[in-house]
Structure 1
C-alpha cells in the first residue's frame, strides 16, 4: 500500500555519501574562517571595535583653533535633520590588512547621530601652506582635514567637481569622500556663517565650538549635510554629506552648511558643545 514505508528509517538513500562529505567540508570551511576571523559577523565586530574606539579631542583654552587640533565636525540639525557629525562610512568590504588592518581609500563619508569622539568622527586640522603645528588657524586660510593615523589611515577629506562617473549617490550633488593623499582637492577653508559679517572676520583667528562654513577651496562649494537623503550604513541610518552651497531667499547659507568644529571642555567634562551649549553663539568673537 502507498502508506507503507519501503525501507527502514535508518536506511541511507540517494547520494547520502556525497551529502555527508559536503556537510563536513562546509563545517570545516566555517571553522577555518572562524579561526582566521573571516566570518561576516567577526568582520563587523572587528570594524566596530576599531572604528568606534574613543579618541581624545583637543582642548582649546583660549577658544581658538590650531593646526594639529583633533576636532569633530558637527551640524546642529534643522527642520528635517537631527544633530549629526561627519563620520567615516567604512564597511567590512572597505578594510585592508596591508600593511596593517585598517580602512582603505577611497572611503565614503556620512553624517551620523553619534556625537561621541571616536576614530570614526575625529579629524585633525592639517597645514597645507607650511604653517607650523600649534599656530592659529585663521578665517579664509587653507587647511586639510585628516583622519587619525592607525586604523583610520590618516586619510584626507576630499571633494572635486562632479561628472558622469563621480557624484554623491543619493542627491547626485558634488561628492565628498576620503583620499589617501593631500592635494588641492583636499583643501578647505573656514568663513563666518553670516555673509554680512564675513569681510569683518576675514583673516581673524578661527574659533572652536561656534558656527562656521567649511568651504571647499577648488570648487567654492560649502560642506553640507542632507536631511532628505539618507544612507543605510553599518552604523544605522545616516545622512548624506556633500559639497553644495544651499542659499535662502536672502542669499545666506542655510543650516545645512553650518558646522561646529568641536573640541573638549578644558574642565575635562567631555565636549564643550554638550556641556556649554551657550558657546555655540551667533557671535564668533574669541574671548
Structure 2
C-alpha cells in the first residue's frame, strides 16, 4: 500500500519554470495593454474611428457630381425562385474592411486595404466615398456615362484611399471566390479608374455621354479589365464588423445577356428633407394613400388619368 508522503503545499516538477513563465506572460500582457497593442484595443479603436457619422452630399438636380460624398449600395436580391440565378441577398454598401492587427494607434488606414459589402447602411467613414475626377473635370460638374472617374474614401481616418482592381493571378485574387480582387490603394493610377454604364444594355448607346442620375441602378465597370463591380451573396467574409459579402470585379450575365443583380449599384445621396437620412430612407407618399385620396388609383387596379 502506497503512502502519500507530501501535502498539497509541496511543489513538484518544474515548478520554478512554470512560475517564471506565468510571470513573463503577465508582464507581456501588461506591456501590450499600456501600448494599446491588444487585439481588443485595436478593434475598439478601429470601430470608434471608422464608424463615425459622415454627412452625404445632397443633390438638388438628381444627378451625381464630382466631389460628391456618396454611398455605393447594392440593392440586393430578395427573390428566391427557380428562375433566380442569385441567392437572396440583403442590400449592402461598399465598405472598408481594414485589418485590426495593422491599425494600432495610427492616425489613418493605410493601403493596400480590403473592401467588402456590409449590410450596415448608415453613412459613416467606412462606407462613404468621394467621386473624384481623373480627366480634369471640376468639382460640381455632373458625372457622365462612360466617363472615367475614381472612388476615393474620405479624408481623415479613412485614409483617402482609391478603389482599385486588376487582372487576377495565382497569387493575387479574391479570398473566397478566387475571382478578380477589389481593394483600396494609396496612389492614383489607371488601376483605380472606373466607368458608369447604363443598366439596360439595349439603351446604352443612346445614354452614352448623358449625366448619371443619383439613387438609380447603374453598373460600375473597371476601365482596364472591363469587369463590373459585384457583391457576391454566396461568399461570406468574417470581419470585425460581422459577416459581410465579398466584393469582386466580375460581370454576371443572365440568359438575356443583361447584368444580374450582383452587378447593380446605386449612388446613394442624403435626403434633403430629413437630417441624417439617405434618400433611400424616404417613403413613397403615394404608397399609403387610398383610392379616394389618390385619384390615379382605382379599386379595379386600373390606372386612370384625371
- Same-fold call, TM > 0.5? yes
Q: How does 1:30-109 map to 2 (within 5 A)?
A: 30-78=29-77, 79=79, 80=87, 81-95=89-103, 100-109=106-115
Partner deviation per Cα, 1:245-264 (whole Å, 9 max, x = no partner): 11111111111111001011
Q: How does 1:185-224 map to 2 (within 5 A)?
A: 185-224=191-230
Of 179, 188, 191, which aligns to 2:185?
A: 179
- C-alpha separation in 1, matches of 2:7 and 2:232: 66
The residue number in structure 2 matching 1:249 is: 255
Q: Is the 8 A contact 1:58 1:263 kept in 2?
A: yes
Q: Does 1:274 align with 2:256?
A: no
Cα distance change of structure 1 residues 208 and 277 upon mapping to structure 2, 3 Å threshold: farther
Q: Is the 8 A contact 2:37 2:104 kept in 1?
A: no
Q: CA offset at residue 276 of structure 1? A: 4.2
Task: Provide the aligned length of Structure 1 versus Structure 2.
Answer: 275
TM-score, length-scaled by structure 1: 0.90
Q: Is the 8 A contact 1:96 1:104 kept in 2?
A: no
Q: CA offset at residue 119 of structure 1? A: 1.3
SS in 1 for 2:157: helix
Of 151, 161, 184, which aligns to 1:155?
A: 161
Q: CA offset at residue 91 of structure 1? A: 1.9
Superposed CA RMSD in Å reads 1.7
The residue number in structure 2 matching 1:29 is: 28
Q: CA offset at residue 109 of structure 1? A: 1.1
- Show structure 1 runs of 5+ residues with no match: 279-287
Partner deviation per Cα, 1:230-280 (whole Å, 9 max, x = no partner): 2122221111111111111111111111100101101134010122479xx
- C-alpha separation in 2, matches of 1:166 and 1:276: 43
The residue number in structure 1 matching 2:118 is: 112
Please identify which structure carries the higher strand content: 1
Larger radius of gyration: 2
Q: How does 1:222-261 map to 2 (within 5 A)?
A: 222-261=228-267
Partner deviation per Cα, 1:143-165 (whole Å, 9 max, x = no partner): 00001112211111001112222
- C-alpha separation in 1, matches of 2:261 and 2:112: 28
Q: Does 1:8 align with 2:7?
A: yes
TM-score, length-scaled by structure 2: 0.85
- C-alpha separation in 1, matches of 2:73 and 2:14: 61
SS in 1 for 2:18: helix
SS in 2 for 1:93: helix
